[in-house]
Amino acid sequence: MEPLRPDMFDEICPSSLNPIRFGGDKWAGLVIRCLEDGPRRYSELRVPLHRVTPKVLTQSLRSLERDGLVRRTEYAVPVRRVVYELTPLGRSMLEPMRIACEWAADHWDELLDAREA
């Protein structure tokens, strides 16, 4: 699995125009995208989500875990570590998210114009 890129998300992401939010959490959709290719450690998630404070990222992960979209697994041996991964329910969000993001990209200018009006 390839490392997550620091520039994985556009600087204006997550915008208030983003159509995907879970429980009002603007970062949740981005966390789900980061977990799309498999389990990740917290430090790996921090790379593309560097604009998110550690406290807010932890809150997002806990919220996603509470809602059954993300599974947190703690390993004690050989070294203590925690990984996060999408559950089947979380994986089921990937396709609707892709479609919603395509829609937002296709209508970005219209959305911005409506906001400014």
DSSP 59-97: HHHHHHHHTTSEEEEEE-SSS-EEEEEE-HHHHTTHHHH
**39, 83 in Cβ contact below 8 A?**
yes
Q: What pLDDT is recorded for position 17?
A: 60
**How high is the pLDDT of residue 117?**
85
Tokens of 57: 């990222």
Instruction: Give the pLDDT confidence of 16-51 residue by residue, as tens digits.
Output: 566 666 667 888 888 999 999 999 999 999 999 988
Does 14 have pLDDT greater than 70? no
**What rounded mean pLDDT belongs to the chain?**
87
Instruction: Using the structure block, give the residue that is written with the tokens 């993001």.
Output: 101
- Tell me: the pLDDT tens digits for 92-101? 999 988 888 8
Query: What Å distances lie between residue 92 and 3, 17, 50, CA to CA?
Result: 23, 22, 26
Is the per-residue pLDDT at 53 higher than 90?
Answer: yes
Indicate if the pLDDT at residue 15 is higher than 60.
no
Mean pLDDT of 50-66: 93
Q: Write the Ramachandran bin of 87: left for phi over 0, alpha for psi from -120 to 50, otherwise beta.
A: beta
For residues 76-95, average pLDDT: 93
